Structure 1
Amino acid sequence: MDSNMLSPKPKQAYQPMVAIVGRPNVGKSTLFNRLVGGREAVTASIPGTTRDRLSGSVEVDEQSFTLVDTGGLSPPPQELLKDKIRMQVEMAIESADLLIFLLDGDAGLNPVDKEIALWLRKQKKPLITVVNKIDNLKRELSSAEFYHLGLGEPLLISAYHNIGIHDLLEKTISLLPTCALPTTESNIPKIAILGRTNVGKSMLMNSILGEERAIVDNIAGTTRDALDTQFIFRDQTLSIIDTAGIRRRGQIKQGIERYSVLRSIRAIHRCDVAIMIMDATELSTAQDSHVFGLAVEAFKGVIAVVNKWDLIDDPDGSKREQAFWTVKQAFHFMPYVPVAFTSGLTGDGITELLNLVLEVHQERQLVTPHGQLQRVLKDAMAAQLPASTGTRKVSIGGIEQVDTNPPTFVLAVNDARIHFSYRRYLENRIREAFDFKYTHLRIVFKRKRT
């Protein structure tokens, strides 16, 4: 392992969250796709995260934020439409730093819009009122009716035609909280405990923070209702990101817990290693897969944890092996993810889990020797060349590691349309050469100037 470290640009300590809210069919998903659709981090084809994607990263100059499309957060269909929208907005306000209230300039002002606006005016949350589908003079003139909402001057955009998007981004950045650059505390590995309700997150965390480990400090987190707890393991300070619903479940409004994925999104973006907790009696549900996918999209370290293993009668270890392969099969799109077995009740497996956390975090700091990295690329291309794109032969001019946590590699190419299978092939060759066993690698193909 090379001890020389890269010197990348300073990163934000955390990403603010911006939520798009509004009634159905006003263009929330179109705006979401317009803002994040072209980004490398959200274009990967990962099962469970494409058709119902909830979040993506948006970068403007040197600042970035997490954009949340609340269009996929509707409560059960038996609830009234206005109740669906009310719940959607409530969840966004609880989790986001800034709201984009999106309206339909084609359909005009709607009674439901007025009800949302009435409720929004009572909140203490930065807000941008945006009228979408303004792509001709008639609609622009008609948009004056939206002043009746009492939310100030609305921005006029057309997400589909890319009109007004630059102004929206400028205003968004101006209203976001200032993101302090990392301090020395940012070098402390941050762990997010994720998972569905009733999988034992709280008990597992209490087991991790047991009396046998020294609690260092309680530090106010970056969310309104989050707390980071530092502790020491093997002379190493670690920090657990305690999101709402893990330690303070009683303070969460009834019904809100079903939308815990929003809190998971924020925790994922702040953490270095995400611990995904599953119930030993109910492995790998669709929601598990979805939250896993969010962590993969954010290029975080991930550990799959089968909790409540004390409930399983397994004298010969056969059920443990079966559960291991069940998890591996369910999340086959990230085969590098390690699997741990724990019991928050008895404390079994906690030490092994924390050892894994340190190993994953250390691996994410690895810097590859430049010369050896070039040889790995040449050997990989000698064994298998990338497929041509149409009549054009694909040429790869070189590779460079540009960042750590996650390890990030940029390849200079004459055509960035590299087939997914070849991307995976090169990633696997890098993994084998430098012993990347557990962490996600970011592979970026950048078109070289001609």
Structure 2
Amino acid sequence: MKQKALKARYPAVAIVGRANVGKSTLWNRIVEKKRALVSAEPHTTRDRNIAKAIWRGRQFEVIDTGGMDTEATEIGEGIRRQAERAMKEADVILFLVDGKTGVVPEDRELAKALRASGNKDIILVINKIEKLSQMGAPVERSVFSLGFGEAVPISAATGKGVGDLLDVVYARLDGKRLEPQEIPEAEEEPLNIVIMGRPNVGKSSLTNAILGEERVIVADIPHTTREPQDTHLLYHGHPVILVDTAGMRRASKLKKELDEEALRRNERALERADIAFLVLDATETPSGQDKQLAGLMRDEHKGMVIVANKWDLVKDKTTRSAKEYEKTIRQAFPFLDWAPIVFISAKTGRRTDELLDHAFRIQGERRRVIDYNAANRLLKSVIKQKRPLQTLGPKSPRVHDMAQVSTEPPTFLVTVHGEKERLHPSWLKFVEKRLRQKFGFAGTPIVVKSSNVPLSKSERKWNVRGPGMAHVPNEE
């Protein structure tokens, strides 16, 4: 069953207008975030940006939209559909016009469409008015001709007049499902899932397939999505934040400041994620760019699912095709041998439902805690199977104990006698392998590190159960 995006518990305010009138700047100002990309390039915003805002102790949702004066292209049609959906969902619409250029024919066309939409709560906003003297009589007359009455002058860039605008919004929303700010003390933290991949592998199509609606614009043109898109949903009663990101490109191909900022935001989206979906094009062999992105995701120590998309487009498939492609993926990403591979078609919806199940199982693995005694029984068997190695010299270090010291990702500390002894990385890798064989940890990286303790008994500061116990939470 496809998962629908959560319906707003709070009233919605949509910001609409033609390109470059300052919609995203105003959105950033109201929600007090710098998440929406802002540039002088028209149609920087393409998908809807949605976030909560608080004014006078009350919450409401603010929806940023793309400029509706788009060209008749696939992306342009998608931008308009997203804006029209926002207008339909909104309780109040903020119609922005540029106070410096005044009203242009595109504004009048949009005003006509807004009047035809039947939404009675439309607030006309004149942006880019740093000084009231800038709003001369010609501007006032042209704005009044749009048919929405008196306009609210603001400067989204400096914040002037935005408070007055929010007072007007507050008054319009009064009685429209306006709820007091609620911060439940024991509310379940949402599972944060980021969808990443190189351009045009089907990330936005996958987002829409999971949600069962067109939440983000999909086109065959690379880089359709430019900024991370957060969508809140419930899955079997559990909150999820699904983040669609822009296609990750090689740094050498980043020619525009806008693209560089978009990629920085993608990296920040990965940093705050719990689980990452690495989307690949199953019709192609994994590229060097795929490998670089996989390495970035591994280094962030996130839970991972490798998603082989476009499986419906693979030609001449046999019963062995999936195993052969999986072998290709494992050879390309040997450092992700712990990540499950799911073959899907975002276009048809095939197996997309399984992805959220994988994500919740992996999050459970990321939070698993292995008992100290169980960890050390495994350590003893590991030492018998393969004696500890150090980085230099033939002498085998004396390993004392092993304890799990944290979760998300599961992290284990092996303590070694002697301040100069250093365990070889290959032996620590072997310990990680045995931990997986014994305890599972599918879909999540495991961190195994070492620590040194003094040989002198007078210098030791650990209890009778071993030095590693000093690092175990809630243990004395």
TM-score by length of 2: 0.49
From 427, 430, 437, the counterpart of 1:422: 427
Structure 2 letter corresponding to 1:393: S
Provide the rounded CA distance (Å) in 2 between the counterparts of 1:186 and 1:236: 8
From 190, 193, 203, the counterpart of 1:191: 193
Structure 2 letter corresponding to 1:443: V
- Secondary structure of the residue aligned to 1:187 is coil
- Secondary structure of the residue aligned to 1:327 is helix
1:411 aligns with 2:429: no
CA contact (8 A) 2:200 2:247 kept: no
Provide the rounded CA distance (Å) in 2 between the counterparts of 1:263 and 1:278: 21
| 1:174-201 CA distance string (max 9 Å, x none) | xxxxxxxxx8678321111000011111
- Secondary structure of the residue aligned to 2:201 is coil
Higher normalized contact order (CA 8 Å, seq sep 6+, divided by chain length): 1
1:163 match: none
Quickly say closer, same or farther: Cα 1:254–1:320, change in 2 above 3 A.
farther
From 428, 447, 450, the counterpart of 1:445: 450
Deviation at 1:260, TM superposition (A): 5.8
CA contact (8 A) 2:198 2:247 kept: no
1:333 aligns with 2:335: yes
Q: What pairs up with 1:80-91 in 2 under 5 angstroms? A: none
Provide the rounded CA distance (Å) in 2 between the counterparts of 1:268 and 1:361: 15
Quickly say closer, same or farther: Cα 1:319–1:343, change in 2 above 3 A.
same
Structure 2 letter corresponding to 1:234: H
| 1:385-442 CA distance string (max 9 Å, x none) | 1124326531211111111111111111235632222111100111112122221101
| 1:298-340 CA distance string (max 9 Å, x none) | 1111111111112123553332222111111110122111111
Provide the rounded CA distance (Å) in 1 between the counterparts of 2:193 and 2:367: 16
Deviation at 1:342, TM superposition (A): 1.2
Q: What pairs up with 1:31-430 in 2 under 5 angstroms? A: 187-211=189-213, 226-244=228-246, 256-257=258-259, 261-314=263-316, 316-388=318-390, 389-390=392-393, 392-413=395-416, 414=418, 415=420, 417-430=422-435
Quickly say closer, same or farther: Cα 1:401–1:278, change in 2 above 3 A.
same
Structure 1 letter corresponding to 2:403: E
Structure of greater Rg: 2
1:431 match: 436
TM-score by length of 1: 0.52
Structure 1 letter corresponding to 2:402: I
| 1:353-407 CA distance string (max 9 Å, x none) | 2221111111111111111111100111122111243265312111111111111
Structure 1 letter corresponding to 2:203: K
| 1:38-81 CA distance string (max 9 Å, x none) | xxxxxxxxxxxxxxxxxxxxxxxxxxxxxxxxxxxxxxxxxxxx
Unaligned runs of 5+ in 2: 1-33, 35-184, 216-225, 249-253, 456-476
Unaligned runs of 5+ in 1: 1-15, 17-182, 214-223, 247-251
| 1:216-273 CA distance string (max 9 Å, x none) | xxxxxxxx96442121223322111234569xxxxx9968548865333212211111
Quickly say closer, same or farther: Cα 1:341–1:416, change in 2 above 3 A.
farther
CA contact (8 A) 1:386 1:422 kept: yes
CA contact (8 A) 2:404 2:411 kept: yes
- Secondary structure of the residue aligned to 1:399 is strand
1:129 match: none
Provide the rounded CA distance (Å) in 1 between the counterparts of 2:408 and 2:287: 28
- Secondary structure of the residue aligned to 1:303 is strand
CA RMSD of aligned residues (A): 3.1
